[in-house]
Amino acid sequence: MKITKICCIGAGYVGGPTMAVIAKKNPNIQVTIVDINAERIAAWNNEDVSQLPIYEPGLAEIVKETRGKNLHFSTEIDKSIDESEMIFISVNTPTKTYGKGKGMAADLKYVELCARNIAEVATTDKIVVEKSTLPVRTAQAIKSILNNTGNDVKFDILSNPEFLAEGTAIEDLLSPDRVLIGGESEEAIESLAKVYGAWVDDERILRTNVWSSELSKLTANAFLAQRISSINAISELCEKTEADVNEVARAIGMDSRIGPKFLSASIGFGGSCFQKDILNLVYIARSYGLTEVAEYWEQVITLNDHQKRRFSDNLISTLYNTVSGKKIAMLGWAFKKDTNDTRESAAIYVADHLLSEQAQIAVYDPKVSEQRIQADLNYLNTRSEEENQELVDTFNNPYEAVKDAHAIAIMTEWDEFKTYDWKKIYDSMKKPAFIFDGRNILNEEETTKLGFEYSGIGK
């Protein structure tokens, strides 16, 4: 099938950047991203590209270059579906918060709604691409919905999971390690491979069956998250034995079988996907009666929760066992640098714990708004919105945030934190001035020389 028009349902962290890059590299294809969230679409259409709904280095430039030419953002979902030959489903697949599988399984209601929407309005043959991360065998369900419409439209379903990481999304999309396409119809697979072929070498485009493709995505995230829990587990041991986790990571990372990437000990992984995808994997394993497999992967989450809790416990015990009435300045709120995304950020859980111990929290994050921070805390329902408002202040200037603080907790590894005038910060804080470096980004020796009481992870 010759692809001239693509529709992507879901204008989020995946849909937006992925389609922007597809549009940039395929000037002859008209790409329209649709969403039910009119506010989000309006933000994508904002004249001022610094105000796009998501922040990703390099994204604004591509949107500026392609928007209005062959990249469009719209709320006219039905129209765009019907006009396009290829439809990507890139909607959210959060962990279920109700019913069977609550707290474990992926909630597929948004994906199913998309499939029903496509089934209802399509009048010509379509290739439907699962871009969202889905449980194994979801394509089967989508197929069953699409093939029972009663009209003569033919649907081919492909699985094309996305491997981009936030903060480096554009880089990852422009030079992917691989593009994975799972499907039954060779013709449909090749139509999608051609879209990517505009900039990705063919040997990097893997073709598999649908189920391998679906499972590979969950497996990749499980392996990545497992690496972080592994190094974080060792970080606790380092703290007891005077080994240094950075030195251990370097030593093991030079083994080419292990490799140096993704071995930074931290306050624990966050983000919208690792936890949800592992929980989903655990749920699937359990549903097939694979108890040992389920328990094996579940430990990755258990360890991650432990790491977050351990960080705040350590902060409290170091501050003489109480943070009540003390000002704790949190530098960073996003779940990693170079994104404004805060979903499942460790900062939320650390702040919540400290607030329950009656701390006063001051937050500075270069890309996260006060409204977002309050919404993240309110979502936990630990205390009233008024109390969160009263106990948490957000600042636009880091030096204001740390003024008179008893301690600083570094939650996100933003590069700018390394460039601050730490002498000035030390002078403005209450003494002794503590730093809890949840990302090991500061130089311990230099900070200690300035007078700080420094505490890193795994040191």
| Residue ranges in contact with ligand UGA by CB under 6 A | 133, 162-166, 221, 224, 228, 262-264, 266, 269-271, 273-274, 335-336
Answer for which of 1, 43, 49, 113 binds ligand NAD (CB under 6 A) is: 113
Radius of gyration of the chain (CA): 23
Could you say whether residue 9 binds ligand NAD (CB under 6 A)?
A: yes
Could you say whether residue 164 binds ligand NAD (CB under 6 A)?
A: yes
**Rounded to an integer, what distance in angstroms lies between the CA atom of residue 122 and that of residue 77?**
11
Neighbours of 50 (CB within 10 A): 7
Could you say whether residue 166 binds ligand NAD (CB under 6 A)?
A: yes
The b-or-e profile of 94-112 (16+ CB within 10 A means b, else e) is ebbeeeebeebbbbbebbb
Which residue sits closest to ligand NAD, CB atoms considered?
12
- The least distance separating ligand NAD from the CB of residue 451, rounded to whole angstroms, comes to 40
Cβ 334 vs Cβ 345: under 8 Å: yes
From ligand UGA, ligand NAD, none, interface partner of 37 (C-beta below 5 to 8 A by class): ligand NAD
Q: Rounded to 5 degrees, what angle do the CA atoms 56, 62, 63 make?
A: 85
- The least distance separating ligand UGA from the CB of residue 272, rounded to whole angstroms, comes to 6
Q: How many residues bind ligand NAD (CB under 6 A)?
A: 26
Question: Residue 252, exposed/middle/buried by CB under 10 A (0-12, 13-18, 19+)?
Answer: middle
Cβ 167 vs Cβ 338: under 8 Å: yes
Specify the residue, 274 or 349, whose C-beta has the smaller distance to ligand UGA.
Answer: 274
Tell which residue, 306, 294, 298, 239, has the closest CA to residue 269: 306
- The least distance separating ligand NAD from the CB of residue 113, rounded to whole angstroms, comes to 4
Specify the residue, 156 or 365, whose C-beta has the smaller distance to ligand UGA.
Answer: 365
- Contact segment (CB under 6 A) with ligand NAD among 12-20, 302-310, 348-356, 428-436 equals 12-20
Residue 238 known to be catalytic: no
From ligand NAD, ligand UGA, none, interface partner of 224 (C-beta below 5 to 8 A by class): ligand UGA
Specify the residue, 253 or 451, whose C-beta has the smaller distance to ligand UGA.
Answer: 253
Q: Note the residue count of the chain.
A: 459
Specify the residue, 276 or 326, whose C-beta has the smaller distance to ligand NAD.
Answer: 276
Q: Which residue has the tokens 């030390």?
A: 426
**Rounded to an integer, what distance in angstroms lies between the CA atom of residue 66 and that of residue 18?**
13
Specify the residue, 132 or 312, whose C-beta has the smaller distance to ligand NAD.
Answer: 132
Residue 293, phi then psi, degrees to nearest 5: -65, -45
Active site residues: 273
For ligand NAD, the binding residues (CB under 6 A) are: 9-15, 35-37, 40, 77, 90-93, 110, 113-114, 132-133, 162, 164, 166, 272-273
